[in-house]
Structure 1
Amino acid sequence: MKVTCICMAGLPGQPETSASVSGDVITVDGVPYDLSAVPDGGFAEPEGENHPFIGRIERIDGGLHVRLRWIYSDATAEPHQPAVQPAFLAIIGPVPDPIVRKSLTSEVAA
């Protein structure tokens, strides 16, 4: 599964996003989404507002492609994040944290 992260700072106290993949299932913030019904060469349009997806979910050459809204905390993140949206290929396990975090030394100095 190709996961592209659309990173955005959350509101104070809002939990940060975490995600993991197991085959055609992506679990985001503890909620599993089974995407196995998306046909090869086809797509699905997420409905409603209670989901983490941005835009279409596509299956291209057998692989799922999703864009996730990735919420992070300003308290632990560097003020400047990369302009390019981070993308990861995940088959099984956690999706890597795409956020550039403050170093421990800068937190101690603050």
Structure 2
Amino acid sequence: MMKITCLCIAGLPGQPETTASVNGDIVTVDGVVFDLSSVPEGGFAEPQGGHPFAGRIERAGGVLHLALRWHYDAATAEPIQPTAAPVMSVVAGAVPDPIIRKPAAPEA
């Protein structure tokens, strides 16, 4: 399981939105696979190079704790987002979209 904190950042116009998924100790962010299996129990890793992480990655009680920079399209989001960074526990599958979206326009 991963406990993911999303640091939500309004992207520039046309910038792709962040997508992520979890499979065991692997997190895939925007199509790039990050294998976190080497993070030891009770320890941490400091990401190096180009990556979407903010701060270090820790493992406690078998759970990986990490923060992701989550870019979103301001045109589809409500202008007011929560001030606290959303935190999600994900066992497997897609990381839920942490952004509060504008209601979809009714179809004509």
Match of 2:32? 31
Percentage identity across aligned positions? 63
CA deviation vs aligned residue, 1:31-68 (integer Å, no higher than 9, x gap): 110000000000000112x1100000000111100100
Match of 1:89? 89
Deviation, 1:84, is 1.0
Match of 1:100? 100
Match of 1:54? 54
Structure 2 unaligned spans of 5+: none
Whole-angstrom distance in 2 between the partners of 1:104 and 1:20:
24
Task: State the TM-score, normalizing by the size of structure 2.
Answer: 0.94
Match of 1:4? 5
Task: State the TM-score, normalizing by the size of structure 1.
Answer: 0.93
Q: Runs of at least 4 residues of structure 1 off by over 6 A?
A: none
Considering only aligned residues, what root-mean-square deviation do their CA atoms show, in Å? 1.2
CA deviation vs aligned residue, 1:1-48 (integer Å, no higher than 9, x gap): 101100010011100000000010000001110000000000000112
Match of 1:66? 66
Whole-angstrom distance in 2 between the partners of 1:45 and 1:76:
33
Whole-angstrom distance in 1 between the partners of 2:81 and 2:73:
12
Number of aligned positions between the proteins: 106
